[in-house]
A and B are shown apart, each in its own frame.
Chain A
């Protein structure tokens, strides 16, 4: 690998010197210096609010630095607009989508390349789609696309301009492991051709897999630059957060009767993926994950559960045996169910509203829901560590992670019996993500049933008790988490059926990783399907080993030295995430 020191003459393409930028009293960037050479893959790491987005926006010409300068091939440049950035050869894939919603995918691509004809662009896009596995349907309107599909448009749009420096802000957050691996191969190929990359992600294993160097930001300044392949991930995480990340702990819980039942639910939506005869149930004290790549029907499923799209049959959704399918969101909330959608601004919250008014969005119509909203909002801010301006700030002024914590806090604070949440940690930094996941698990200990619609396998393996996979609007049967590996979920996400899985499972190779988290007592979670049990002959043994008491000197099973495929490297993320000591699973008190 081309580590910074290994290749003697680094040909520095882009350099930032002492960049600073403030918004009023907020010093988003205090002093950032970094450089990236041609063919180099630089990771930019940091928690939300560390200043990464502000910094890359300046590179892209959207914002202007207050101090400091940028150098392009050693010469100072003033990047006064995104057009200038494009001219220099800087390509950008933003975390927040910057596509035009009302236009089609093809038109959005055409806007990036105004000189080419529509037909030429279609051809080029098809080439790129083919080469990099980023499938796009050019005639679809962007507003009808899911988050994952929009992300693909962004990536292809940047690549179509053949940039010299490509900046990617969390590009894999909505991709399947297979898709992410293909993207990494693409990026490797692009870097081999001399393209410089600045890659922003919270996923340290990904950084380790892809990047040559990592520059770590904290509170608007560079704290370290290191080689992610040799530096322990726990150390990197510590540099990012300033303290050791809280390990996720599953303390085990009692799983009881089904709270939320979905029975043969079909929902047709004009745009996007409709739901076809979906059935599942979520039980007291468990987290049920609905896995799937973006655009496979998650939006329709969330809307159906929240009541935004009522079901045709009232009985197709029941809450504690009460049919709620025909009810709207408010009536459902009154029965003790809470929802948190994927899109924070514009769906979960209103940017122009202060937090207290945002609280009202899901509190009005509930008994006592609207009393002392401001005090309640302040309490939630404190309990959920929401960092924002003083008083009652507008939601738009909060960073993504903090707003998400507030949105989660708004619902969890109500102590709902059932909580349906879509992408709880999408685009949220590691600290906030583990906080949110811990809160979700705490809810189950109090007896709540939690349904997490997620594309994040790391997350699913950390917190879920059972998993079902959504593919083209159809839901697989529900599997106990112990019966699944990331590879199997990946296959299910890509639409492979159970028969294929059996074959995969019959290979003699043992499961490649130890248990990621200690889940609840295996006996109390009967796997939903017989096939899951059959296909998992070593499960009991694994569980026994994994749940050895914490006094065991060494981790129960070290991660395999070389993961067989990229895919499984990614799958074992949680293991690499924190030092092995913190991964002694805690056995439920018995």
Chain B
């Protein structure tokens, strides 16, 4: 029988190993699932996890002219990691404070709507240097305002932020649906529920020719670095950490919980909004009912997989981005359903939480004999 025995002190080694074990278990179970579906596990590994690296290898082997297309898939992985890391790093801060913002998807959508408003209503002649930052700032503000609602309800009325933030996600989804079918519908769009296309000037410049990777990567890296610095070096980081670890000690230290709730909600909401703005302006180029808001939920996995640490979040975002791109690739090459990706992500979170028990407990095998 396996028994859990509490460790005297949390194990740092287990904290680092836990996500790696979780990934390994996810891959192992995923392969069993694929085998059961009658596909070759070897091909699946190739389709899911190795193809971007195969492409990279080929890139360095290939000649000048063949190169461009080979960078496309690896760049897609990094591209997907941008919104995941942006949202994930904000959520990591909130979770550290013990505040569960589950509604990043809604904040992401509001970010997209606010950025869309600026993009659609700004005069055509606005130069890119003004329009692009204006879109991103508006998006950030949109996410922030949407996050203000659950924060306010929690602080003022004691309403569970888990429920309110989650439910507001659906409100946000219908809001987006309404604007693209109603006031902002493209009059020349043949009745499709979508807005006019945004002006060229709203799009982030590309980083690599032949790919979709854009300068938003550096925005994301700057945000991650800033959050890392704030958490490690500033009083706000201290405030967030102590509130999550020992709320009473935080209160004793003079930090009011209400203010901490606002700080982390506004930060995570703002970053989700920024991600939404970036994704719609740089990738989609217009508003439509489907703008990949599920990043807001996947980022929860990213935050926990990354140990709620900014650098960990960055790595975890890449891992999750890989499952997205790998999933798409597997749909094409193996004919696996899209849901397989969601199963992968779900298993990852499940195994991660299970492995996290190892940080505070150690496993003991023992016989069931009793005195």
Chain A positions near chain B (C-beta within 8 angstroms) = 23, 77-80, 84, 87-88, 306-308, 328-331, 333, 339, 341, 343, 345-353, 357, 360-362, 364-365, 370, 394, 396-397
Contact = CB atoms under 8 A, between A and B. Distances in A.
A113 B248 CA distance: 32
A306 B238 CA distance: 20
Interface string B341-371: 0000000000000000000000000100011
A308 B256 CA distance: 9
B188 interface: no
B254 A349 contact: no
Nearest first, the 8 closest Cβ-Cβ pairs linking A and B are A330-B254, A329-B254, A361-B253, A350-B246, A347-B248, A346-B246, A84-B371, A350-B249
B167 interface: no
B242 to A, nearest CB: 6
Contact of A79 (B246, B251, B371): B371
Contacts of A77: 371
A80 B366 CA distance: 10
Nearest to B238: A360
Given A78-B371, A333-B254, A360-B238, A394 B249 contact: no
A396 B241 CA distance: 16
A80 B242 CA distance: 36
A361 B245 contact: no
Interface string B33-53: 000000000000000000000
A362 B370 contact: no
A234 to B, nearest CB: 36
B9 A396 contact: yes
B360 to A, nearest CB: 11
Interface in B221-255: 235, 238, 241-242, 245-246, 248-249, 251-254
Contacts of A350: 242, 245-246, 249
B205 interface: no
A84 B370 contact: yes
Contacts of A397: 9
Contacts of B10: 352
B245 A352 contact: yes
Nearest to A309: B251
Nearest to B366: A80
A536 B254 CA distance: 44
B104 to A, nearest CB: 26
Nearest to A24: B8
A329 B371 contact: no
Nearest to A61: B371
Given A23-B8, A396-B9, A397-B9, A348 B249 contact: yes
Nearest to B242: A350
A349 B238 CA distance: 13
15 contacts: A308-B252, A329-B252, A329-B254, A343-B248, A346-B249, A347-B249, A348-B249, A350-B246, A351-B246, A352-B245, A360-B253, A361-B252, A362-B252, A365-B235, A370-B235
Given A328-B256, A329-B254, A361 B9 contact: no
A364 B249 contact: no
A361 B371 contact: no
Contacts of B366: 80
B221 to A, nearest CB: 27
B371 A347 contact: no
Given A77-B371, A80-B366, A307 B249 contact: no
Contacts of A357: 238
A348 B252 contact: yes
A306 B252 contact: yes
Contacts of A362: 252-253
Given A88-B371, A394-B9, A328 B254 contact: yes
A364 B245 CA distance: 17
Contacts, number: 69
A94 to B, nearest CB: 14
A353 B248 CA distance: 14
Contacts of B238: 357, 360, 364
A84 B256 CA distance: 45
A360 B235 CA distance: 9
B246 to A, nearest CB: 5
B250 to A, nearest CB: 8
B9 to A, nearest CB: 6
Contacts of B254: 307, 328-331, 333, 364-365
A57 B366 CA distance: 20
Interface centre among B10, B252, B371 (most CB of A within 10 A): B252
Contacts of B370: 80, 84
B249 A349 contact: yes
Contacts of A394: 9
Interface in B260-314: none
A70 to B, nearest CB: 11
A361 B249 contact: yes
B246 A329 contact: no
A370 B237 CA distance: 14
Contacts of B246: 345-347, 350-351
A351 B9 CA distance: 9
Contacts of A328: 254, 256
Contacts of B256: 328
Contacts of A339: 252
A174 to B, nearest CB: 19
A396 B9 CA distance: 8
A333 B371 CA distance: 56
A590 to B, nearest CB: 42
Interface centre among A352, A362, A394 (most CB of B within 10 A): A352
A158 B241 CA distance: 37
A360 B246 CA distance: 14
A329 B253 contact: yes
Given A360-B253, A397-B9, 12 more contacts: A23-B8, A80-B366, A88-B371, A307-B254, A329-B253, A333-B254, A350-B242, A353-B245, A360-B238, A364-B235, A394-B9, A396-B9
B150 to A, nearest CB: 23
Interface centre among B9, B242, B245, B249 (most CB of A within 10 A): B249
Contacts of A308: 251-252
A396 B7 CA distance: 12
B245 A347 contact: no
B9 A346 contact: no
Contacts of A351: 245-246
Contacts of A343: 248
A320 B8 CA distance: 45
Nearest to B235: A364
Contacts of A365: 235, 254
A307 to B, nearest CB: 7
Contacts of A84: 370-371
B56 to A, nearest CB: 40
A66 to B, nearest CB: 14
Nearest to A343: B248
Nearest to A302: B252
A491 B11 CA distance: 50
A200 B10 CA distance: 29
Contacts of B248: 343, 346-347
A308 B371 CA distance: 50
Nearest to A396: B9
A433 to B, nearest CB: 23
Contacts of B251: 308, 329
Contacts of B371: 77-80, 84, 87-88
Interface in B1-54: 8-10
A80 B370 CA distance: 8
A348 B9 CA distance: 19
B75 to A, nearest CB: 40
Given A308-B251, A347-B248, A361 B8 contact: no
A351 B371 CA distance: 35
A339 to B, nearest CB: 7
B253 A347 contact: no
Nearest to A23: B8
A339 B253 CA distance: 10
Given A350-B245, A350-B246, A341 B252 contact: yes
